[in-house]
Chains A and B, each alone.
Chain A
Amino acid sequence: MKFKAMTAIAALLLAPAAFAGGADDDVLVINGEIEMTTKADAPAHLDGALDQVISGWHFRADETQQLETDDFENQGMIFVDQAIDQWNTAAGSEGKSCADCHGAPEDNMAMVTATYPKYDSDAGELQTVQMQMNECRTERMGADPWKYDSGAAVNMEALIASVGRGTPVQVAIDGDAAPYYEQGKEMYYTRYGQLELSCANCHEENFGNYIRADHLSQGQINGFPTYRLKNAKLNGVQSRFKGCIRDTRAETFSPGSDEFVALELYVKSRGNGLSVEGPSVRN
């Protein structure tokens, strides 16, 4: 044990001073009116893991943060506009549009992103927003399902998120959702791949630290879909998971897989209390 104690001291002495580190103290208000909760006391189920939950927005550079404060600067809103057209356009053998049944998104979809993934007792499964939309397309519209995390699906998911901005994330993790929560939690702490790294190794133990050029956040998903400057489009939650697991030199999972649906619920629940922020802007 001597060796390990020495290490701790050495680590303290050697602690790098060059980086600012941590989350910043900026405040996010969108369009001068929607006040966002980007830091919140951690929900009870994170006892012992985190004291505070923090939106990924706090870990981005000022210029990137700025882009999210105004819908005219947020390039993600261009894709939301495309989704509005889609919302109003009939598709499939029934000749129906989303609007025919749901009216205006802002009237009927404001609580969706905050509460999904959600257990659907008719379907007998936990559903993400994309799964629910595909249920409407295949069972109610006579249309083909959208491929998981395809452009059309992510854009519509962003439209639905955008009308819920400011609402606190509040997914249920008890009852029928509990087994999915447990499966997702198990995955979150599994050290995948040849690098043997879990989500927690990076996003719980090291948020605020730099890993090469990347400023590690808590890996929250309250801001999804995210518009990334890197690829200039909206990115789905599960595609992000796929990339993070791939980067541990692991065999990753596919968007839409049972594993990622469970992981989405778990990660979303780690952000209970943070405002829905999608489409957010990230690098």
Chain B
Amino acid sequence: MRLTAIAAAVTLVAGVAHAESHSGAVAPEDVQYGETGAVATSLSGMPGDAANGQVVFSTKSMGNCVSCHAVAQLTDVPFQGEVGPELTWSGESRSEEELRGIVANAKMSFDGTVMPAFYKTNGYIRPGNGYTGKAAEGDLPPILTAQQVEDVVAFLLTLKEQ
């Protein structure tokens, strides 16, 4: 777990998504969504890391999922949101493929959903430079990297009735 903690810290410091460099990664525009919005294979070509996924889930500059979703297992994270459904049982109610599709672009699973798309780079109206309120300079990276998506999915898969 040591390594993961360091990796998480590094990501925290960076604060923004970095393009995936290794060959196995699927670019945001190449993701294949099934009929119901599921995505069959890992976006990074690597397995996800649940501990890092928990950090992505709870950190504002990354997934910030906790602003909309409550997760009973995250006992030390205050003020969990309720705009989206509670995810305490996601590891039982959803498959890995479904979860990957929902995190990458939830609009493919739920028409017009309020949930943002985390692995997408275009089609935005007045995209900004993070939370500065200023215009984005050039193309935006996706909010999460392919690996961060996999990490969050791995974290969600650990969420089961205890």
A interface list, Cβ under 8 A from B? 2-4, 7, 10-11, 14-16, 18-19, 21, 190-197, 201-202, 205-206, 209-213, 216, 242, 245-252
When the two chains form their complex, are residues B132 and A2 in contact, meaning their CB atoms are under 8 A apart?
A: no
Could you say which residues of chain B place their CB within 8 Å of the CB of A201? Answer: 114
Does B138 belong to the interface (CB within 8 Å)?
Answer: no
Stretch at the interface among B6-14, B18-26, B64-72, B145-153: B64-72
When the two chains form their complex, are residues B86 and A15 in contact, meaning their CB atoms are under 8 A apart?
A: yes
Does B135 belong to the interface (CB within 8 Å)?
Answer: yes
> Which residue of B68, B82, B88, B136 has the most chain A CB atoms within 10 A of its CB atom?
B82
Give residues 129-162 of B contacting A (CB, 8 Å): 129-136, 140, 143
When the two chains form their complex, are residues A212 and B126 in contact, meaning their CB atoms are under 8 A apart?
A: no
Does B1 belong to the interface (CB within 8 Å)?
Answer: no
Given contact pairs A2-B36, A252-B128, A209 touches B85 in the complex (Cβ within 8 A) = no
**Chain B window 21-54, contacts with chain A (Cβ cutoff 8 Å), 1 for yes, 0 for no:** 0000000000000001100000000000000000
Report Cα–Cα, A2/B35, bound state, in Å. Answer: 11
When the two chains form their complex, are residues B79 and A250 in contact, meaning their CB atoms are under 8 A apart?
A: no
When the two chains form their complex, are residues B135 and A251 in contact, meaning their CB atoms are under 8 A apart?
A: yes
11 example contacts (A-B, Cβ-Cβ < 8 A) are as follows A3-B37, A7-B109, A14-B87, A15-B86, A191-B125, A196-B117, A211-B82, A245-B133, A247-B131, A249-B127, A249-B130
Compute the total of residue contacts between A and B using a CB distance below 8 Å: 107
Given contact pairs A14-B86, A209-B83, A192 touches B126 in the complex (Cβ within 8 A) = yes
Could you say which residues of chain A place their CB within 8 Å of the CB of B15? Answer: none
Could you say which residues of chain A place their CB within 8 Å of the CB of B143? Answer: 194, 249
